[in-house]
Homo-oligomer: A and B are copies of this chain.
Amino acid sequence: MRLLLVEDDNHVAAALSAVLARHGFQVTHARSGEEALQALVPEGDGFGVVLLDLGLPDQDGYEVCGKIRKRTSTPVIMVTARADVRSRIHGLNLGADDYVVKPYDTGELLARIHAVSRRTVPEDHPAEGSGAALLLGPVRIELPTRQVSVAGAVVQLTRKEFDLLALLAQRPGVVFRREQIISEVWRTSWEGTGRTLEVHVASLRAKLRLPALIETVRGVGYRLVAPAA
């Protein structure tokens, strides 16, 4: 599994890399937030997990986490000396999957990396592997390129719109609950009560020009109607 290590201290990074490599990880090292984001962008979800040290020179580590979360769904483990509860909660709510305080035990860190990646490993392969393009009647959804076309005509979707559509399209016919959709598409947990989800559904329906494709299931959530079999 590929692992992105974001850490400005070369000595620490080298030592940790060695340990991780010994446990079967392919480690990529980034020395700053900028470097980390660049490493992530072209690959999409190529990394299985990100180890993010918060004591970075160029930007606030929390910001970096937020940006990572906006671009990919790669799990993030924050590593930092800031032990106070407030920081931990802040980090976790920004979308981090775990928060480890220095000094940590290497064995525990490994166990936590495994725990986090256990949840996401099965996701990666089937998505990029075989099909990579979903077909639903006139709608074609290409996961790798994030391109969607309806009856041959390419439709430009925004990030959220695409994520939303892709989620629903993974299981045509099954009903996704609102909370489920929100937690999948909007990775950060929030208490928001806004009409965000509806707005995005609306714009999807408008852009696809197939208002019936996404069916709302009152009191539960939404679903894609399965194409005529």
**Residue pair A174, B189 in contact (C-beta under 8 Å):** no
Chain A residues 93 to 151 lying within 8 A of chain B, measured CB to CB, are 93, 95-98, 105, 107-108, 111-112, 114-123, 144-147
Closest chain B residue to A121 by CB distance?
Answer: B123
A220 beta carbon closer than 8 Å to chain B = yes
Contact indicator B98/A146 (Cβ below 8 Å): no
Q: Are B114 and A189 interface neighbours, CB within 8 A? A: yes
Does A180 belong to the interface (CB within 8 Å)? Answer: yes
* Residues A118 and B189 in contact, CB atoms below 8 Å apart: yes
Q: Which residue of B lies closest to A158 (CB)?
A: B218
How many chain A residues have a CB neighbour from B under 8 Å? 48
Residue of B nearest to A180 (CB): B122
Interface residue from B96, B119, B159 paired with A97 (Cβ < 8 Å): B119
Q: Chain B contacts of A115 at CB under 8 A?
A: 92, 96-98, 189
> Which B residues touch A223, using CB under 8 A?
145
Residues of B within 8 Å of A88, CB to CB, are 105, 108, 111
A203 at the interface (CB under 8 A from B): no
Q: A146-B217, A220-B159 are in contact. Are A119 and B75 (CB under 8 A)?
A: yes
In the complex with contacts A88-B111, A159-B218, A144-B119 CB distance below 8 A:
no
Chain A 137-172 near chain B by CB (<8 Å), digits 1 or 0: 000000011110000000000110000000000010
Chain B residues lying within 8 Å of A112, measured Cβ to Cβ, are: 92
**27 A–B contacts, CB within 8 A, in A order:** A1-B179, A75-B119, A85-B108, A88-B105, A88-B108, A92-B108, A92-B111, A92-B112, A92-B114, A92-B115, A95-B118, A96-B115, A97-B115, A98-B115, A116-B119, A118-B183, A118-B187, A119-B120, A119-B121, A122-B180, A144-B174, A145-B173, A145-B223, A146-B175, A146-B217, A158-B219, A159-B220
